[in-house]
Structure 1
């Protein structure tokens, strides 16, 4: 039991080393306190917690994006290419920027354009009945989206 306690304490310290993880833990405690204090129905409380856990991915992504904006251009070209390939290649609007079947940018200008797009990408989490902003390109990573009777499913995994 003694080693389990020590290991548990080490994990708590390790998991709270970043600002985002400390904020997440504080917010998680506040959410649980809110649900208890106001007697939120169990089903609704579970949905709130699931949404809150999904929002964690937004915080992680925003942190990564802040860092990637600091990269000088020559480093960004090499580092950001992998995510560009993963997220943008399957999208019809960007296919013209890739060499057919090779997974490479068709030109240096296309590569720079795709990297700039990657720098501007943002993560968002939506719940049923949410209305995302118009005029944006949405990539469904998890779950599905409904629009005017059509169902759009995820095309990429995490």
Structure 2
């Protein structure tokens, strides 16, 4: 089993154990929860509707965990991953008033609850990154360190273990 699949299995167990209530993970206490299932049909429909190709590791993540909240601490900070049918409305909200609308090229799929956004620059090899709110959206692509989603998730797991 790959490291990424082990990570997904662990997160699946944490979501089941927590059910939205605090549990220990590493040296910290977090809540984990699943908001909704994501189906292969939803992903295929999104890809067809917007003529994009989602990264395979991210599709596996969504099919395994669904739309979910990971690592929610006592202050409410977390990584909240949205379902495909929420991505466009989330992008409209984020890009409102900025003078640019970069959806779906910049595909925002996660709110890390620290005022930033997280998602993909589609068409790039290493696609996932955190887009900082103090950087104008039109500069996100050049300003953001991108990496494979699986690498970001594994690094996030290590950081959150404490």
TM-score bracket relative to the smaller structure: under 0.3
TM-score by length of 2: 0.26
TM-score by length of 1: 0.26
Looking at secondary structure, tell me which structure has more strand per residue.
2
Looking at secondary structure, tell me which structure has more helix per residue.
1
Structure showing greater relative contact order (alpha-carbon pairs closer than 8 Å, 6 or more residues apart): 2
